[in-house]
């Protein structure tokens, strides 16, 4: 299993808008395209204005294929367009890729 930690550096004043976009649309669209979101966090220091989440993928090849499908989905294209009528929500996105270590089992 491949775990992707995605970090969104959100434009000031846009945190609620990005959270609404995820809760109302994106999580369901990710599921439609084979991507499972397992955790969401907001930075405890509001000045950092960052949103974090984990997406599980079977492997990097499927991750790339699923994101391509997601990005080209007409529903996503429209959701993004409408949610960004007043400007982009995110100014920077980072991904960190992780895998389980052999000595630790998550119970």
Residue 106 inside a domain? The answer is no
Q: Which residues of 59-78 are buried (b: 16+ CB within 10 A; e: fewer)?
A: eeeebeebbeebeeeeebee
Burial of 106: CB neighbours in 10 Å, binned 0-12, 13-18, 19+: exposed
Number of domains in the chain: 1
Looking at residues 78-95, what average pLDDT do you find? 97
Amino acid 65: pLDDT: 97
Residue 48 inside a domain? The answer is yes
CATH for 58: 3.30.70.100
Residue 13 inside a domain? The answer is yes
Per residue in 19-74, pLDDT (tens digit) is: 999 999 999 999 999 999 999 999 999 899 999 999 999 999 999 999 999 999 99
Banded model confidence at residue 106, pLDDT cuts 50, 70, 90? low
Residue 90 inside a domain? The answer is yes
Spatial separation of the C-alpha atoms in residues 33 and 73, rounded to whole Å: 9
Residue 71 domain boundaries:
2-98
Spatial separation of the C-alpha atoms in residues 27 and 74, rounded to whole Å: 15
């Amino acid at each position: 299993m491949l775990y992707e930690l995605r970090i969104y550096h959100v434009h000031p004043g846009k945190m609620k808008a990005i959270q609404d976009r995820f809760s109302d649309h994106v999580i369901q669209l990710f599921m439609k395209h084979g991507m499972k979101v397992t955790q969401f966090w907001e930075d405890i220091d509001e000045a950092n204005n960052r949103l974090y989440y984990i997406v599980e993928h079977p492997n990097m090849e499927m991750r790339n294929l699923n994101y391509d499908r997601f990005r080209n989905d007409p529903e996503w294209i429209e959701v993004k367009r409408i949610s960004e009528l007043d400007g982009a929500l995110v100014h920077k996105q980072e991904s960190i890729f992780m895998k389980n270590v052999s000595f630790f089992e998550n119970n």
